[in-house]
Amino acid sequence: MARDAALRAAILQSVEDGFAEQVAYTQKLVSFASQRGEEFAVQDFIFNDLKARGMAMDRFAMDEAALTAHEGGAPFSATHSRAPIVVGIHHPRQETGRSLILQHHLDVVPVGPRDMWEHDPYGGEIVGDWMYGRGAGDMKAGAAANVYALAALKRIGLQPAGTVYLQSVVEEELTGNGALQTFLRGYTAQAALIPEPEDEKLVRSCVGVLWFSVEVRGIPVHVREMGAGANAIDAAWRLIGALREVEARWNAEAPQHPECAGVEKPINMNIGLIEGGDWGSSVPAWCRFQVRVSIYPGQKAKEKFQELVDHAMAFARTDGFLAQNPPVLMQNGFNAEGYILAPSEAEDVLAGAHEAAFAAPLESFCTAAYLDARVYALYNRIPTLCYGPKSKGIHGFDEAVSLSSVKRVTQTMALFIAEWCGTEPI
C-alpha cells in the first residue's frame, strides 16, 4: 500500500514535470489546419513522433467498400477524407497486464469567418488558463494527453505491462469512419479510453447521429409568372417545418429513455447548410439542405432514417408543389447508433484515478453529441471510457481548453494506465 501511494505521488509529479513540454506539443498539434481532407500533415507528424518514442507503427487507408458495407459505416461523399489512420503500438517486455486502446481524432471542424475570432485559430495562444485554437479542446489537447500520459510513466522509468494501442484517427467530425476502420483492421483491447473534452466527466450514454441531405427541384420561371412556377426554396422551407415535427415527436419520447434524463433536449435537429436558386429574379428551381439529427441510444440508425423519409414523403403528398416534385433524402455522413456504458472494472479504476488527481468523485452524464466511442462500445464490445478536459467554444469561435484541467486529466490518465495495464521497468 505504501508503495502504491509512493507510485501514485511519483506519477502525479511526473505529469507536472512534463507539462510545459505537453503544452508546447498541444500548440504544435493546433498549428496544423487539419480540416476534413487536410489531415495528412498532422497524421504524418504523429506517426513520426510516436515512432521516435519507440512505438511499433501501423498506417493504413480507410477502406470504402468495407466501411460502407458495415452497419455503422457512413457513405463516402466526394469530400470524404483520404488521410491515413495511424496506430502506435506499445508492446511490454512481459505481457502481465491488461491491454488498452487510447484513441483521439485529429480532424477539426471549419473555423468559419476569421473576423469572428479574437485569437488566431491556429496560434495556440495562451491567455491565463486557456489555450485558444480550432481543435484545442476538440481534441488536440486530448491527443497530447494520450502521448504525455505514457511519457509521464517513461519519465520515472516505467512502461505499461500490457499492450497499448495509441490510435490517431480522422473523420470523427462527419462520419466516424476513421474509428470504425481501426475496428475493421482488427484492433481491439480490454478497454478503450478517449479523452474528448467532457468537462472532467465520464460519458455514461451517448446519442446516435444521422446526417442526410434533402434536395427539392422545381420548374424555374420569371418572378412575374410566379403563379405558374414552383419555388424550390419555399418548398424546402415547408419541408423543414415537417421535419421539425419529427424532432418534436422524438423529444416527446424522452421519458421512455431514462439514460438521457437530465438532458434538456436530447434530440437536436440542425439544418446546418442550405443552398439553392441561381438568380434574384428567377424563381429558384432547386434547393438543397443538410440535416444532422440525433437518435436515442439503442435505436437503429437505418430505422430512424426511414422514419424521417416516411414523414417527409407523407408531407410531400399533401403539398401542391412537392406532390409533383417529391424531395430526395440521402444519407451522406454519420450513420451512427448511440450507446450506454455498462458498469465495469475499467470504470472503477478510472474513478479511483480521477479521485486521486482531482480529490473529488468522478461524475458521469449523457452526451447529446456523436462520439467515436460508439465503435468500441457497440462493435469491439469493450468498456469504453470517454473522459476529458474542460473546454469552451467547441465548433464555435475562440475555441479553448483549460490547461489546469488538461493537467489533472492527464494525471488521471497516467494513473489509470498504470493501474489498468500494470507497469514494468523500462
The CB-nearest residue to Zn ion is 138
Q: How far is the CB of 173 from Zn ion (least distance, A)?
A: 7
Q: Tell me the residue type at 68.
A: T
Residue-wise burial string across 340-364, b where 16 or more C-beta atoms lie within 10 A, e elsewhere: bbeeeebbebbbbbbebbeeeebeb
- The CA–CA distances, whole Å, from 360 to 12, 242, 357 equal 15, 46, 8
Q: How far is the CB of 362 from Zn ion (least distance, A)?
A: 20
* C-beta closer to Zn ion: residue 196 or 337: 196
- Rounded to an integer, what distance in angstroms lies between the CA atom of residue 101 and that of residue 354? 18
Q: Which stretch binds Zn ion (CB under 5 A): 16-24, 54-62, 124-132, 136-144?
A: 136-144
Closest CA to 203 of 250, 142, 134: 142
Q: How many other C-beta atoms can be found within 10 angstroms of the C-beta atom of residue 265? A: 11
- Rounded to an integer, what distance in angstroms lies between the CA atom of residue 61 and that of residue 82? 7
* C-beta closer to Zn ion: residue 258 or 272: 272
* C-beta closer to Zn ion: residue 131 or 139: 139
Phi first, then psi: give them for residue 330, nearest 5 degrees.
Answer: -135, 130
Q: How far is the CB of 209 from Zn ion (least distance, A)?
A: 12
Residues 333-372: x where in contact with Zn ion by CB under 5 A, - otherwise, as a string: ----------------------------------------
Q: Which stretch binds Zn ion (CB under 5 A): 132-140, 259-267, 329-337, 353-361?
A: 132-140
- Considering only residues 139, 164, 260, 295, which one is a binding residue for Zn ion as defined by CB under 5 A? 139
Q: How far is the CB of 304 from Zn ion (least distance, A)?
A: 22
The rounded Cα 123 to chain-centroid distance in angstroms is 22
- Rounded to an integer, what distance in angstroms lies between the CA atom of residue 229 and that of residue 282? 10
The rounded Cα 98 to chain-centroid distance in angstroms is 25
Number of residues forming the site for Zn ion (CB under 5 A): 3
**67 in contact with Zn ion (CB under 5 A):** no
Q: How far is the CB of 139 from Zn ion (least distance, A)?
A: 4
What's the grid cell of residue 326?
Answer: 417529391
* C-beta closer to Zn ion: residue 107 or 419: 107
Phi first, then psi: give them for residue 374, nearest 5 degrees.
Answer: -60, -30
Q: How far is the CB of 371 from Zn ion (least distance, A)?
A: 7
Subset of residues 184 to 243 that bind Zn ion, contact rule: CB under 5 A: 196
- Considering only residues 39, 138, 200, 419, which one is a binding residue for Zn ion as defined by CB under 5 A? 138
Phi first, then psi: give them for residue 276, nearest 5 degrees.
Answer: 175, 160
Q: How far is the CB of 137 from Zn ion (least distance, A)?
A: 8
Interacting residue ranges for Zn ion, rule: CB under 5 A: 138-139, 196
